[in-house]
Amino acid sequence: MVTRRKAIVMGAAGVGGVVLAGGGAAAIANRDKPEPPSPDAVNGQGRLLWRNWSGIQNSYPAQRLAPKDEGELAAGLKAAVGPIRAVGAGHSFTALAATNGTLVSLDAIAGVVGWEGDTAVVRAGTRLGALGPALAAKDRAMANLPDINKQSVAGAISTATHGTGIGLPAIHGDVTALTLVTADGETVECDPGKRPEVFNAARVSLGALGIITQVKLRTTANRRLRRRVWIEPFEETLGKAEERWKAHRNYEFYAIPFTGLAANITHDETDEPALAPPASPDDAFLEALKMLRNTFGWSNGVRKSVAGMLLGGTEPETAVDEGWKLLSTERPVRFNEMEYHLPPETQLAALKEVQAVIEKERRDVFFPIEVRRIAADDAWLSPFGQEGPRGSVAVHAWYKDDYAFFFELIEPIFQRAGGRPHWGKLHSLKGQRLAALYPRWKDFLEVRRDLDPRGRMLNPYLTGLFDLA
């Protein structure tokens, strides 16, 4: 038995030195690709480049606003050049934030500014990573967190960003009221009793109604969680996933293509003393998987056998700490992503089909496939809906690798399984195809027209998404 860390170090250091020849073909270790072409930092009109985190979306805004408060924002929007788009961390893989008009940063409109009982009043530019310690100072916490905590509060709720847990909703599910400023400078406050149609539309709005400036966020007690991470055969994980979602506060797993293995993660409340986690091995883990691809990509069988030897006998890892310190993960290695939210009854079968087609058609893939379960909620454009929990399956591709297979091979599987796309992840759906998935689609568009009759919040991506061209 070796620790997961030792296995990963072995993978990163040892696999790269192996060269095998078979049938006249030699595997070349440490193959790598050049950086993707980068757009010009300044265009011909002297405008500075904006680019999303993964690098696949970009634009050259004519104007940039960084207001310090709602009043400054409202005044700026009245005179702004359209399309007007707000940006947080740029972690959406779609072109939601891209604009050659006005790009608005809410970084200065941030912080926890009040409390109403256990409900926090939070400015919308607050990053999730900063919100954790701010709430903990009052011995409170967000009920759940997504895999990455770099997003702003407004960006996270606008795209239905979520964590995992069969009884835990996405972040917008804990929003009890919000304030937004429209493109014409009007401030709109809403909650379930005050302008409920705006509240139902604005909790997942894709930034198409106006710019959210403040939310009231339901919180929970700041409890310690016990995190356990272990690797086991993929088929064993499939067989036990449903019972684990029911048994644990948070449960997710990562199917690891070309290995026959899955990495499992649970979080449960505990009164145990804090136990520091080991230094994050995720970068080394991905490097080992990439080297396995580079060295043994010519043979699925050999690649799987070597992966089993390196990772199959690893020991579980445990950590104990406050939830805001454990639930999110640092992700410095860039990637592109497609994620769909599926009915529970089709989720695992779709996952098996996705993994099978990747192993058959795309030997270059080495990123694990993330699998989660999320509670229902009643926001109009929530991909989780009101009918019960949904299961998410997220497929990733290294930022240097081609991701066209998302649309050609993976998305048809998700669609056959009754999936709805994550609003911040890559997908091809628009117009009537989305309307068929969302019973309140037309209601959302009516609210959108009422708040932004001139379409100043609509960039070309949103115009196409809503089929408003």
The parent domain of residue 372 ranges over 2-18+223-421
Across 43-57, average pLDDT: 97
Q: Which residues contact 63 (CB under 8 A, 6 or more apart)?
A: 80, 81, 101, 102, 103
Q: Are 383 and 301 in contact (CB under 8 A)?
A: no
Across 72-90, average pLDDT: 96
| In-domain check, residue 217 | no
Does residue 31 register a pLDDT over 70? no
Of all residues in the chain, what percent carry a pLDDT higher than 70? 93
Average pLDDT over the chain, rounded to whole?
92
Give the other-Cβ count within 10 Å of 176's Cβ: 14
| CATH number assigned to the domain comprising residue 398 | 3.40.462.10
Does residue 422 register a pLDDT over 90? yes
| In-domain check, residue 442 | no
Does residue 30 register a pLDDT over 70? no
Across 179-202, average pLDDT: 98
Of all residues in the chain, what percent carry a pLDDT higher than 90? 86
Does residue 25 register a pLDDT over 50? no
pTM of the model: 0.93
Query: Which of the pair, 310 or 134, is modelled with greater confidence?
Result: 134
| In-domain check, residue 334 | yes
Query: pLDDT at position 1, please?
Result: 35
Q: How many domains does the chain have?
A: 1
Q: Are 295 and 15 in contact (CB under 8 A)?
A: yes
Does residue 80 register a pLDDT over 70? yes
Query: pLDDT at position 22, please?
Result: 37
Q: How far apart are the first and last CA of the chain?
A: 60
Of 185, 238, 250, 196, which is closest to residue 350 (Cα–Cα)? 238
- Summarize pLDDT for 385-403 with one digit per residue, the tens: 888 899 999 999 999 999 9
| In-domain check, residue 116 | no
CA separation for the pair 140, 467 (Å, rounded): 42
| In-domain check, residue 84 | no
Of 68, 172, 52, 142, which is closest to residue 110 (Cα–Cα)? 68
Does residue 16 register a pLDDT over 50? no
Does residue 9 register a pLDDT over 60? no
| In-domain check, residue 30 | no
pLDDT band at 14 (very low <50, low <70, confident <90, very high): very low
- Summarize pLDDT for 198-242 with one digit per residue, the tens: 999 999 999 999 999 999 999 999 999 999 999 999 999 999 999
| In-domain check, residue 398 | yes
Does residue 23 register a pLDDT over 60? no
Of 94, 2, 57, which is closest to residue 337 (Cα–Cα)? 94
| In-domain check, residue 141 | no
Does residue 15 register a pLDDT over 70? no
